[in-house]
Structure 1
Amino acid sequence: MKKINETDNWNDREWAAAAAWLSGEDNGDGENARILAGEEADIMKKWNDLKYSEEKPVDIDKAWVKLNGRIEAAERPVMPLPFKRTLFLTTIARIAAMVLIVAALGWLLFEVAAPQKITLTSDSDQKNLEALLSDGSTVFLNRNSSLTYPKNFMSGTRKVSLKGEAFFDIAPDEEHPFIIDAGKAKIRVLGTSFNVITENADNEVEVYVASGKVMVTSVDGAGSLTLEPEYVGKVSGRNVTQERNSNVNYLAWHTGMLSYDGKCLEVVFEDLKRAYNIEVRVADPEINDFRLTSPFEQQSQDTIIKLICTTFGLSSVREGNTYILFR
């Protein structure tokens, strides 16, 4: 059982009187000081060590502050938390810890399970840049295009995203549709070959089907249609339209083959722009009306321009990627 000291019942005035006497003040109370000395021997020992130390001068005010602090700390009651409150806080802490653990595990699972993505990008001098996908499908990029795809398809669908133009030859798999994010449209196929332009000259998504069937849907899902072979579908906002392709050289950028049977040079120059990324200008507008009949197979742009000039008795100069034809 703890011994009850007389100082335990002192008020602030009695403590101050004892401290004043110990500090040498005239208004101190020696009787209180003696009581304090008898009951608080450890405090008095430290007090005397400080007071009579020769190495350091005694800072009476600092000593009093320290003594007063110990007194207040001893008198301050410690209020234990109610049992129910303690239990509640413990439960909250456990729940918070569980949430953090679940979140950490979820993040770790995502990092491990998420398939590694690859982005293939072609520059202005590249065409038919080939990407072989894990399912056996093949994609050929036209110039200034990019394809993002997973290293391995792991979910129920095969998803890729395209910016620019590319020709797709998709391996058949009815249970795993192939989906292309073309920005303003979604393209869904099972197994087919087709061409996609994410933004044509009219800012539309354009899809040409070479074989099989392709479903084209506007990005908001408002418009949708299924394209058959030799049809071109276009998506503009919520509108989806289709028409039969009339350009036999639509895929010339990919196949390297051009064929003309009495076509005017204005059309030929447009095809060359699309297939070779070049501009052809004429000094005389009448040159655009000249009609050409000729096939071109895997020939360079310089060779094609020379053949056209030879056929019609023209001359040409080249400035970068621009050719100027004149008589």
Structure 2
Amino acid sequence: MNWQWLWLGFLLPLTVSSRPLEPAEMEAAVDYLLQYGYLQKPLEGPDDFKPEDITEALRVFQEASELPVSGQLDNATRARMKQPRCGLEDPFNKKTFKYRLLGRWRKKNLTFRILNLPSTLPPHIARAALLQAFQYWRNVAPLTFREVQAGWADIRLSFHGRQSPYCSNTFDGRGRVLAHADIPELGSVHFDEDELWTEGTYKGVNLRIIAAHELGHTLGLGHSQYTQALMTPVYTGYQPYFKLHQDDIAGIQALYGKKSPEKEEEMEVPSVPPVPKEPSTMPDPCNGELDAILLGEALPLQAVDRQ
């Protein structure tokens, strides 16, 4: 984006890694803040921002990311902006930064259809991961999900690459944006076909966790500031013993109520691969050694029938 940098002279004295901050770095940061809702493009007038607007946007981003709040584009802030993440905006509740609600379905019995599967996983493992993603939400809220094999479904999951006639919000290839989803009553969940989708390993991007995150959006949850929550915007890596965070549970129950303790029939969920032995040192998903893998891993979305 070619923004008018009236504030650039104010910010250029900042340094990154003991060197002057390049204009392209600040431009990329502003694009990020715009894309994910921390800055708002002026409706009228020139496309420029006051220095205090940029500083405040950086401060909000840093606070939401649990980083030291300086209002400056420091190393930690730049690193956070480079992490693989969800494609939806981060319009947090700025008072508490807890879960945010985007709306809800007017019914609790939903159908879903898996339109296609990623090429990086055996079909039975990919299906098991996607079904388990539904089960996380079903375990804590009075929701039921029934799979259909043809025709229309409330929730449609698919994988596609950079270009798709069924999705106007294109992906960016491996890395950065992994997946995105529609709000309730629309129901599309799109995964980036170019990502390395995996299950039961620290390599690549975990399909089960990303799918559960995107389902959270299509059920009505926005992003959470809690970095341990499923609904945090940034992918934090594979978690072999994953459980929903209390913020995730509070959010979904605010929409649909608490699950009844009465016995009810459970979804048939195929087993996922056994948990591998946890390494002595947990791989850092932001580490340069993993960037080639993680930055290109997302859930691809394929043709979605919008009849």
- Give the shorter-chain TM-score range: under 0.3
The TM-score, its normalising length taken from structure 2, stands at 0.20
Q: TM-score, normalised by structure 1?
A: 0.19
Larger relative contact order (C-alpha < 8 A, sep ≥ 6)? 2
- Between structure 1 and structure 2, the one with the greater Rg is 1
More helix by share: 1
**Bigger share in strand:** 1
